Structure 1
């Protein structure tokens, strides 16, 4: 009959929401939980038939930290890896390796794989989007006058081209009412369209600091 502690241990492996396996000293997987099956796309039996070294190659595992670790040296290890599952999908995973020690002798290791692919892909997408926006802003700033105005009509941002064309400094423009820095306040169609929340396109005459129209 199983002891209470052994039942808890088996229950923990079975129901833990991250992938868990036990690797023996020969590099064979002797216990695999459902989360690891789901993550890799292989059944428990299939995983048990693949030696640890072959798993590294089959899943195209790349170790981003502690690449030369020995999983049986009686020390816990933690690092980041990427791998591809049975379906070729790239996964971003945090690996934790904990030695199994019985009577002061290492008998194997727990390997715990936490899949954070969704979070990492979202972060990478956000980084790319921010970079794309930065590039778009740079391109826009290099080719056009850009002024940002709040709903009360006060300037919150101007780019270098506005400063160059209008002769107003950034300090003079930001915080000023847009009409006080030469921007047209009498174009009714423009104002009406913007107040409706729509995009207006057309020509408008403004004046620089010296009263010249541009």
Structure 2
């Protein structure tokens, strides 16, 4: 493993710092930032071409994805959200409305049991995945919440990976990374997009 005690300590300190920064951002400021982020996302080629959107369900001070889900449904896209498993893996299930969500394993909103079977990797081809994180660097690497759920999922995910990022979530320096860390392809901010992977342009 490429992970070292020093790298782990660095990630932990960054995680704590960016949780603090995001939590102390006032709700009106978050809302002012999040609406243009969604507008920028809707102009992204990967979003326009995707018939299926995989997204986390935002909570607390995260960039709002409830509006994103409603926009996707309005545009005729299918929406799938993850269910956390005790093995620290994710299963994505298609949901038809926010009424299909209920509190899950970690207290996050997840698909209810009536949402059918999880999507297979083959069914995700041509989709776009909205990836959560606390801070991102210009190469698309991120500091997440420390559970490793998304890195395990993204290792086999066949579509394009997108992060919704407020200005304070952008790091001007490379973030500590391990060999299993998976970068996103796109950073979407309120002022534009940044391609982290030239192969998807």
Normalized against structure 2, the TM-score is what? 0.20
- Higher RCO, Cα 8 Å, sep 6+: 2
Could you say which structure has the larger radius of gyration?
1
Normalized against structure 1, the TM-score is what? 0.19
